Structure 1
Amino acid sequence: MPEHHPTGPLTAPAPRSPAAPEPPGGPPRTDRQGAAILMICASALIFAAQDGVSRHLAAVYSPVFIVMLRYWFFAAFVVLLCARAPGGLGRAIRSGRPLTQIFRGVLLVAEVVLMIEAFVRMGLINTHAIFICYPLMISALSGPLLGEKVGWRRWAAVAVGFLGILIVLKPGSGVFSADAMLPLTGAAMFAVYGLLTRLVSREDSAVTSFFWTGIAGAGAVTLIGIWHWEPMASEDIPWLLVLCFSGVAGHFLLIKAYELAEASALQPFSYTQLVWVSIFGVTVFGETLAPNVAIGGLIVVGAGLFTWWRSYQRERAGRR
């Protein structure tokens, strides 16, 4: 559910990381990008499985309780990783925009809780088919929030993408309900989180943003989740451990991928998570992939890929 991002639902828009310098006698750059693509695809698989485990546990326990335990583990991982980074924790903590960083972390953990609730109510497939509109929301909001120029082609892609969302929702069907507002709201929250990530990247390093994402999120969810504490059945503890360790594994793969290749080259492969979510939804949870959901989802993905392509073209033109 991001960077899902602790959720992992499709990679969160993060500050563009330059590829790591080529070591003498190392593999050619194309091999490095190929390895990075494999890592992104593997992280998408892990995050899809993580969403399935979250749905399983949240059907029994409070979503905020599950997210709290997951974030405790994630925060420990963040502290360990930042302590080993150049400059240690002291450098990771220092931020030019501390209030914005804290707000980012709180916003993301709230989005995670919201998405897990949506998994329980709507299922994995319907939830993700709506949630994948978040890149389009980023394009739409990047102008008013960041002052970025959004051309008519990207506005057209946003319009087409939201047409796809209407096809998914199919007004008059069971999918179109108050529950559909959960993934829509989650997508909007994740889009704002991504834009704030861009904003803070103007002053803070990726390590600093990663630190505040984990620590602020863990602190915020603990204030609420501690009141939802409940004993866990012994058979559910292994699933909780899978949830925690898979989150760490997914984020580790993301970090390594961005060390090898630029984010702009990797973003399209994050959409493979929707494929895995559909497979898990049908085979594990007995969900149905309705034709309108498949068609609408493909339209949204296509529109999202077009907005990425336009941004990539502008980025390449800016380098010349």
Structure 2
Amino acid sequence: MTDDAPPAAPPLPLKPFVSIGGLCEVIAFLSLGFTWLGSLGRYGWMCDLLSHFRLQYVVACAAVLLFALIRRRSWLGLAALISLLWNVQIVYAFHQTADTTGMAHEKPLRVMTFNVMTDNHNPVAAVSHAMQSDADIICLPEVDDTWRVALQPLRVKYPHHVEEMNSGHFGIACYTRLPVKSLEVRYYTVWRLPTIVMNLDHLGRPLTFIGTHPIPPMGEQDTREWRAQLSGIAALVAGLSGEVIVAGDLNATPWCEGMRLLRKKGGVDFHSLDPVWPPTWGLNLPMMIPIDHVLTKGGLTVQKRLLGPEMGSDHRSVTVEIMR
């Protein structure tokens, strides 16, 4: 016998709480679940919030499909394939929303919308970018009192303008070289956020331009106010019989419920030969989405749509050329 104690057994390695495969399956279920919950936007604000990320769901569902093929999970692969096709067809529906049939051969009307971001550290470059667009109508959401000096070149170049700068991040300014019949600012929802309405003359015909910037739908109350503003603008547009353009940072992707209400109730649509799904907000972020838009009514067609470079804002400008 000996007094020496036997050596202690080495500690067992800790097992991970969730395996890599299990984690991948959780991500797979979330990706597929968000795809279908996002299709129920009219029934709840959370579902509508999920609807904005169709581009991300395309990538996620493709990754889930690959994972299912590698793991030989046929049921998961089928669900991923159906979800992938569902997202692709939603996005592709906004790849081209007009045709060239019957388009007039005339000088196109150029319109720019650019959320310059209130806290932009280089307002001079942002305004210079707007100037270089040489647009006939320019809409700049998110201008406040700190932008008054920077905007002076636009006031000089464009004989007609409306500036509503007392609404913080929801200030807005519009500039035009077209003949003006009337200019006004309308206020929507309990937040009284400004929307600029300009009644113009476009080649001898009346044209109404509406520039707006609703609140982001980030909660139940905000979503209610966001939908109310878009519905209010839709009601305004529905009562107009001539050519109409609605532009701005709508905080709405082409496939969300708020956009559906605007298009259905107002009679406006993208009417664009170019795709309207490329992201305009969230530069360099994985959650970038298209929320800056130009919609038309009355036989107007967007024949070209260009996105601008990074100019100190978290948005990219959208410049379109519109034909009858």
Name the TM-score, length of structure 1 as normaliser: 0.29
Looking at secondary structure, tell me which structure has more strand per residue: 2
Q: Which has the higher contact order (CA 8 A, sep 6+)?
A: 1
Question: Quick check: which has more Rg, 1 or 2?
Answer: 2
Name the TM-score, length of structure 2 as normaliser: 0.29
Looking at secondary structure, tell me which structure has more helix per residue: 1
